[in-house]
Amino acid sequence: MEQHFVKVDGMNIRYLESNPTKLINATSNILENFTTVNSSDDNNTSDSRRKKKRQSVLFIHGIGTTADRWLDIPDALALSGLHTIAIDLPGFGASDKPEGMDYTIERFTNIIVKFIHETKIVEDDNVDKISIVGHSLGGYIAAQIAVENNDLIDKLVLIDSSGMLTEPTPILEQYLEAAKNPTKGEVRAIFEKMVANPWRIPDTLVDDFIIRISARGAKHAFESALNNSATTQIGVDRLKQISNYDISTLIIWGEKDRVIPTEEHYKVFADAIKNSNAVIVNDAGHAPFSEKPALVYELLRRFLVYPGK
């Protein structure tokens, strides 16, 4: 993916972008056959493909992480013709971290909508809507956008989403303490509680978090975002509106999520958003796309690429 920066509300916002045309050109020997097979299946030539409306997908990460956490899933989806973008939320990654800012769901939502317009994702002649994939905090933001700006949204994917917490769970409280006083031992200990199997946490993940959270403004952003997102709710009635707007929705939850516990939250989202596709990923914790990337990639590909899902 290519790195870019854009100004939104006076802040530099970093994002990664994967352009399907560039990827296909870069791997032409492999993908010529891929394109030919698919073209014969749906009676499309490469020229007619370019005339079709482009499908754009925005990935919004969870608290304490960055656009890079999506691994190569956005790039892989671009090989299926999707235009994928992964953003660093303000306060995280390489985006600006204003120390006087309140990192609320409302603020994040407004910034994301402005980001969509500023980058002209939906003003392109070939794009009129965008799909959003949101994880945890990013899921809460994505759901809020779907309710308040439903005209922008094509499809919605919520992965282990927050949005129905009344207070921080014990693991979120421990996560906050580790972020405020980051040591390798404390960060590793909390990360290992977030996954199904502790051996899935490499040292580089721990080291990178400590470097990022030590940046100026990062601890304030983390604490402000966690406190707001873990004590406010989107509410069942607003989740039901997503169904009323006929937004196709996929809900993915890690079977062993102890951050936003599966048994308490998965069913709430699945029941509220009628006709949603809902999947529990076995042997996965709070971020199933990092523990089971091939499986989650395939779930996303089938849902996002094909119409009527």
Question: Which has the higher per-residue pLDDT, 120 or 290?
Answer: 290
**pLDDT score at 122:** 80
Q: Is 108 exposed, middle or buried (0-12, 13-18, 19+ CB in 10 A)?
A: buried
pLDDT digits (tens, 9 = 90+) for 249-277: 999 999 999 999 999 999 999 999 999 99
Phi-psi region of 160 (alpha: psi -120 to 50; beta: other; left: phi over 0): left
In a domain, 220, yes or no: no
Least confident of 27-31, 48-52, 61-65: 48-52
**pLDDT score at 53:** 64
DSSP symbols for 134-190: EETHHHHHHHHHHHH-GGGEEEEEEES--SS-SS--HHHHHHHHHHHS--HHHHHHH
pLDDT digits (tens, 9 = 90+) for 69-93: 999 999 999 999 999 999 999 999 9
Report the share of the chain in percent with pLDDT over 90: 83
In a domain, 182, yes or no: no
In a domain, 176, yes or no: no
Strand 130-135 and strand 153-159: pairing? Answer: parallel
Q: How many domains would you assign to the chain?
A: 1
In a domain, 216, yes or no: no
In a domain, 205, yes or no: no
pLDDT digits (tens, 9 = 90+) for 104-154: 999 999 999 999 999 988 866 667 799 999 999 999 999 999 999 999 999
Domain of residue 56: give its range: 2-167+233-305
CATH number of the domain bearing residue 120: 3.40.50.1820
- Categorize the per-residue pLDDT at 54 as very low, low, confident or very high, splitting at 50, 70 and 90: confident
Mean pLDDT over the full length of the chain: 90
**pLDDT score at 120:** 87
In a domain, 219, yes or no: no
In a domain, 188, yes or no: no
**pLDDT score at 50:** 42
pLDDT digits (tens, 9 = 90+) for 171-226: 999 999 999 999 999 999 999 999 999 999 999 999 999 999 999 999 999 999 99
Q: Of 51, 111, 96, give the one whose Cα is nearest residue 221.
A: 96
**pLDDT score at 167:** 97
**pLDDT score at 41:** 44
In a domain, 208, yes or no: no
**pLDDT score at 38:** 45
Answer yes or no: is pLDDT of 31 > 60. no
